[in-house]
Amino acid sequence: MTNTYRELVIGGVLIAPIVAYAAIALMAFLLLRPLLRFVGFAKLFSNPSLAELSLYVAMFGLLALLV
Amino acid sequence: MPVNAASTAAPRPLVFAGFPASSWAFALRVWLAMLVALYVSFWLELDSPSSSALTVGVLALPTRAQGMEKAGYRLLATVIGVVASIAIAGTFSQTDGLLLAVLGICVGLCTYVAGMLDGNRAYAAALCCITVALVAIEQIDTPLQVFQTGVARGAAIGIGVIAVALVNEVLAAPNYHPVLANRIETLHRRVTDLAQGAEPASAPAAASLLHDIAALRPEIRTLATEASIGAARTEAARSALVEIVNALSLGRMLAALPAVSPDTAGLVAMARSWLRTEIGRTNAENRDSLDALREGTRPSHAWHAPLYRSRRIATEAAARAAISFTLIALFFVLTGWPTTELCLALVAVILALGSTTPAPRSFTLVAVMALPIACVLAGILKYVVFNGVSEFQLLAIGLAPVVIGLALLITLPNPMLSSLGRLVLVFTIAVLAPTNPQSYDPEVFLVTSFFACMSAVLSFAAQMLLPPLPGDRKIRFLLGEARRELDHLGSGRTRHLAPEEAAFRDAARIEQILTANGASPLDGKITAETMRYFDQAEALRRCHAELDRLQHGPLAGTAQEAERALAQRNGGAILAAAEALRLAAARSRLSADAAIAMLIPASSAFAPSQTSGRGEQP
């Protein structure tokens, strides 16, 4: 069984779906940042930036896996 | 930009082979990021894998925030540059001279924008020019390849940015906010020391302090990319800087209060007491802002820290860069040499990067030194170290000494050596151009090296023929603009900034005046004149702000008289207006202490000895 990929088409140029997922995950992550600041996400980890990166990777992975 | 993040963090860092451990960690991160970028680019079979390694070299900054901000601007500028390249190639291809003229205008436009911005935003403007150079100019004879080249460059830069971000995150590159907080604290201490020292009104000391404060401005924006609480830290750092400038200017007002005479004793005492209270309040606000910076919370008062922009200097620099580029392009057209597009592209790169530095000619000189070194290093790597190998592991081992060594050089405090290290690193990768499979054609290498070196020499020659704006002329422009602004203060033509924010803008101008001559110190007379304009503008703005508050009360008439005295720029009249205001306030049983306290320093700032330019000698 093979997956069917829906490419993003911008002006006739086909863009790999993974690029679109990465961009969507980034947008979603940027929208999530005020909420993370509000709940004090940075104070929960000794290396907050690595935790934020892991969160982004998890969001990106879920998007690539489930969409 | 400071490159050694640990210079203020630890008093006695662990040193190995003359470099602190933090420098070694930074160099290892650069090497690892470069390997990751190259490996992924080879794996994805990108058209220009060397661009991703170049991106790592360009983004080699010791703290995470600095690298991330530059990366963001690099991506943005690449997109704009590629779109501009497509537009230029699509509209002007096969128009010969017109195309070169358009490219010259593009170089000028980017230089102008770079001159109007600071920090990484100026770099982004320069990078737009570089992208146009590397995409449109390199494909000048094959315009159909422009889109493909642009996409390949964008993909390679994206990989490079991801590699740097990943390595910095995983290897826990240090945060920038503790370094910045320490530097802001040191500046605040210097302001306090100056105010309590023997010469609190010393113009060179104050100008140098204002320069150091304003020089931090481009750095504070980088904090926004550090964490989700980065934006709050940026606000806190910005407020702390504005408050330091505020404390310094209030301290200078206090030091410059006129000597006590029987007529003015009451007024001076009132001004002194009010200024001391204000300085205490500003210092407390500054401590709050510093705490907010460390904790990642918003400051109690968020100030703007506006940048001073000189359109005239930016226009002159842009015109010079455009003319230099067009002259070199004409030279190539006249010689009729083949494959000169690489050389022309590198000329645009050097001119654009030079425009982001205070001294473009020194930058070009460093590039003239860096390019031959880079060519020799790339040659040694290619024909002695690698010599025909194609395994990635060997590439990784072979690159290690060069990349780590040059990254160590970048961490040196000497700006010349640091800049040389960065340029040699970037140019070595550019000349070596790692590809899969690696090309070992000596002819290509020799031609590339020759044209690369020639581009630097030609850029330098063009700058000798048409020198960049001289430092003293820049200073004259900036002082002229300061004088004009001072003349128009209060006449409704000024910008609507709070006095504190306007003072920071003036500090940014002083920073530009002090850096205009490069490393050479400024003439004492010019420093005194610069500080006199700063003091007068600051006193006037504060007076206007305080008098405006009295405009809708019973003291409106007296306040208007004081405004008229200020418009005359006459110290005696201002002092008389202050006395009149004190009497009127006493009669009305109202408080006008703040306005009176501001009018007294204004009267001494516009005392005849000050306005004639002989008052303050260093």
Q: Are B317 and B469 in contact (CB under 8 A)?
A: yes
Task: Report how many Cβ contacts below 8 Å link chain A to chain B.
Answer: 27
Nearest to B188 by CA among B222, B206, B166, B213: B213
Digit-coded pLDDT (tens) for B7-57: 444 556 788 878 888 889 999 999 999 999 999 999 988 888 888 998 999
Digit-coded pLDDT (tens) for B221-265: 888 887 777 888 899 999 999 999 999 988 888 888 777 677 777
What confidence score (pLDDT) does residue B491 get?
63
* Least confident window among A46-50, B451-455, B531-535: A46-50
Q: Which amino acid is at A35?
A: L
Distance CA B77, CA B55 (A): 13
CA quadruple B501, B503, B507, B510: dihedral sign:
positive
* Owner of token pair 């058209």: B47
Cβ <8 Å between B172 and A50: yes
Q: Which amino acid is at B3?
A: V
Distance CA B572, CA B580 (A): 12
Distance CA B414, CA B420 (A): 10
Q: Are B422 and B410 in contact (CB under 8 A)?
A: yes
A34 interaction partners in chain B (CB closer than 8 Å): 228
What confidence score (pLDDT) does residue B614 get?
38
Which residue in B228, B233, B293, B294 has the most chain A C-beta atoms within 10 A of its own C-beta, making it the best mutation to test that interface?
A: B228
**Closest B-chain CA to A48:** B227
Indicate the pTM of the whole model. 0.82
Beta bridge partners of B16: B19
Question: Span B553-580, mean pLDDT?
Answer: 82
Distance CA B366, CA B348 (A): 16
Distance CA B266, CA B596 (A): 11
Residues 263-302 of B with CB under 8 A from A: 296
What confidence score (pLDDT) does residue B36 get?
94
A47 interaction partners in chain B (CB closer than 8 Å): 172
Q: Are B56 and B160 in contact (CB under 8 A)?
A: yes
Cβ <8 Å between A49 and B64: yes
Digit-coded pLDDT (tens) for B146-168: 888 888 888 899 899 989 988 98
What confidence score (pLDDT) does residue B492 get?
56
Digit-coded pLDDT (tens) for B419-449: 899 999 999 998 888 887 778 888 888 988 8
**Greater pLDDT, B447 or A42:** B447
DSSP label of B59: T
pLDDT confidence band for B112 (50 / 70 / 90) = very high
Q: How many Cβ atoms sit within 10 Å of the Cβ of residue B593?
A: 17
CA A61 to chain CA centroid, Å, is 7
pLDDT confidence band for B373 (50 / 70 / 90) = very high
The first and second tokens of residue B341, run together, are: 């597009």
DSSP label of B616: -
Digit-coded pLDDT (tens) for B188-203: 998 888 888 767 667 8
Q: With a cut of 80, say whether residue B268 has pLDDT above it.
A: yes
Q: With a cut of 60, say whether residue B3 has pLDDT above it.
A: no
What confidence score (pLDDT) does residue A3 get?
60
The first and second tokens of residue B22, run together, are: 């933090």
What confidence score (pLDDT) does residue B26 get?
92
Distance CA B546, CA B596 (A): 9
Distance CA B571, CA B529 (A): 18
* Owner of token pair 């404390």: B247
The ipTM value here is 0.71
Candidate from B169, B175, B228 with C-beta closest to A37: B228
Digit-coded pLDDT (tens) for B172-191: 788 888 888 999 999 999 88
B227 touches chain A (CB under 8 A): yes
Q: With a cut of 50, say whether residue B6 has pLDDT above it.
A: no
Q: With a cut of 70, say whether residue B559 has pLDDT above it.
A: yes
Candidate from A33, A41, A53 with C-beta closest to B169: A53
Quote the mean pLDDT of chain B.
Answer: 84
Q: With a cut of 80, say whether residue B86 has pLDDT above it.
A: yes
Q: With a cut of 60, say whether residue B387 has pLDDT above it.
A: yes
